[in-house]
Chain A
Amino acid sequence: MNGFAYWWHRTQPVDHAILIIGVLFLALPIWMIFASSGYPPEYLIQNGVQFWPGDQLIQTYDSVLHDRRGFTQQITATRMLMNSFILGIGFAVGKIVVSMMAAYAIVYFRFPLASLLFWLIFSTLLLPLEVRIIPSYKVVADLGLLNSYTGLIVPLIASATGTFFFRQFFRSVPEEILEAARLDGAGPWKFFIDILVPISKTMIAALFIIMFVVGWNQYLWPLLMTTNDDYVTIVYGIKSVMQNIDESRIPEYNRGFALAILALLPPIGVVLIFQKMFIKGLLESDK
């Protein structure tokens, strides 16, 4: 190989060019939204979305985080972020606890109804919440759970993805561990708490990351569940901002942009910080 061909082969300029275009395609929209959130609305209306960050970033984010707006002018973005954290963490923890317990029962016990219950749990994988959204709303309303964290979180846990995730993992746990635990006189409780939970730690963490993101990103369900500003999550709060933008004479685009960035930061942060664990969990959960 001559020198140029070798250099070409080593440095792969075309491949890098394609990948850099891909990276920019994903990142540029978010970057421009962020950069533009630092301009006053009048400037944005005249000059459009900007590439270089404006000098009012701090003012915009400060005002979004602390001024009361929303449907009834009663909610700050800080409160929306808090609601989103409650939804994301509550959903992830609830799902992990409920599904680990169910998977434990299914994998480690022989009991008469096992098969029936297994199929019942399995059937939830077939139907996402979106297809039964209106009757679900009715049920939650009948139970008096509209505008509550319980109503926001628990119906989302009804799908059994987590149960299958742990079932898969428990089945890969060597049988010798249970035999050894039994010889040591460990009962079902002790085995679960002292042995199974500790060896599932990385799996729990991986599922937590995915479920946090899934919970945080919910839109349709919070949209139906919350008629009261106190429970508005940030992803849903965007909708009220959009309506304000459409109705006002000088739309406050900078505030809309800032809200979008705030809604993005926590889930993206979690995914990037725990990247390895998140990818492992994702690949594992969909087997």
Chain B
Amino acid sequence: MPQPALMKRVQFSHSPIPYLFVLPQILIIGVFFLWPSLEAFRLSFFLEDPWGLSNQFVWFENYITIFEDPDYQSVFGSTVVFSVVVTFLSIGIALLLAVKVDGLLRFSMQYRPLLTWAYAVAPAVAGLVARFLYSPQIGPLYDWLNAGTDGWFEPRLDPMDAWLVLISGSVWKQISVNFIFILAGLQAIPRTVLEAALLDNPNGGRRFLSITLPLLAPTLFFLLVINISYAVFETFGVIDTVYPFGPPAGAETLVYKVYVDGFKGADLGGSSAQSVILMVIVLALTMIQFKYIEKRVHYT
């Protein structure tokens, strides 16, 4: 974890100025972070009727309902699978491209902008593009996947086909950011190390596995956390634009369910309890990330 104690040796002291300077941040955090977070926690213990007329304290009933709901379990499971697939595909493709660019003798600078621009694509726009390309009415990918079959690919009805659309849209948008970090990681490896490895081991593939990959591990681990959090939280925009009226049953993620239950279903207590569960998951994820950052500080 970052240490508050690691401050400048030379500092100003005894002045009201630091309070004035942190005030805006603290106010915003108080109103738009602490208050809603505590509110989620509080609401998760209440059962509110759909019209908001009565509000009953029900202890852990909302949580029990969620954990016993087979629907929630399956959404949980598919979110995990979806995140793992998106993470590995987008890191894998980016790794291949970054290694190739790093190994180029000429033109490596020309490829960079061509492979980094997609960072700026909003998940919602990526979803829209995926939707058009897989559309039964006009989509070339829809025709292509159904070519020579009697229509086995139906992303509007079949959850597996829907996942294919959502995964390809989510991965496509995420390759660039991984590419940027992996290329930077590759370039941070000292050339002398690589040259020494070349003498020891002329086989390029083995050299990559035994030298490059371990040296790249901190970058890859960091990207693992970033990508999982992207797949869990930011792909809402992909789902909601590919399916403006909701995906076929079985093709939703946890964040999408929080939104649907809370806004469309007006189940405030249940939705809040889901929020709290998500918070616990993120907390765990972030702890792992910071533990790793601390480690890296130790080793360098």
Contact = CB atoms under 8 A, between A and B. Distances in A.
Interface of A: 10, 12, 15-16, 18-19, 22-23, 25-27, 29-30, 32-33, 36, 44-45, 48-49, 97-99, 101-102, 104-111, 113-115, 117-122, 124-128, 130-136, 138-140, 143, 154-155, 157-160, 163-164, 167, 170-171, 175, 178-179, 182, 188-189, 191, 213, 216-220, 223-224, 235-236, 238-239, 242-243, 246, 251, 253, 256-257, 260, 263-264, 267-268, 270-272, 275, 279, 282-283, 286
Contacts of B39: 132, 135, 138-139
B125 A107 contact: no
A22 to B, nearest CB: 5
Given A15-B100, A128-B229, A260-B128, A107 B21 contact: no
B292 interface: no
A272 B4 CA distance: 36
Interface of B: 1-2, 4-13, 15, 17-19, 21-22, 24-26, 28-29, 31-37, 39-40, 43, 93, 96-97, 100-101, 103-105, 107, 111-125, 128-133, 137-140, 143, 172, 175-177, 180-181, 184, 222, 226, 229, 233-234, 236-237, 240-241, 244-245, 255, 258-259, 262-263, 268, 271-272, 275, 278-279, 282-283, 286
6 contacts: A48-B143, A117-B22, A128-B282, A133-B262, A160-B29, A171-B6
B120 A271 contact: yes
A239 B243 CA distance: 10
The 4 closest A-B pairs by CB, nearest first: A217-B122, A267-B120, A109-B18, A135-B36
Q: Which of A36, A127, A159 has the most CB of B within 10 A?
A: A127
A246 B138 contact: no
A235 B125 contact: yes
A175 B180 CA distance: 32
B93 A22 contact: yes
Main secondary structure of the interface of A (DSSP, over half): helix
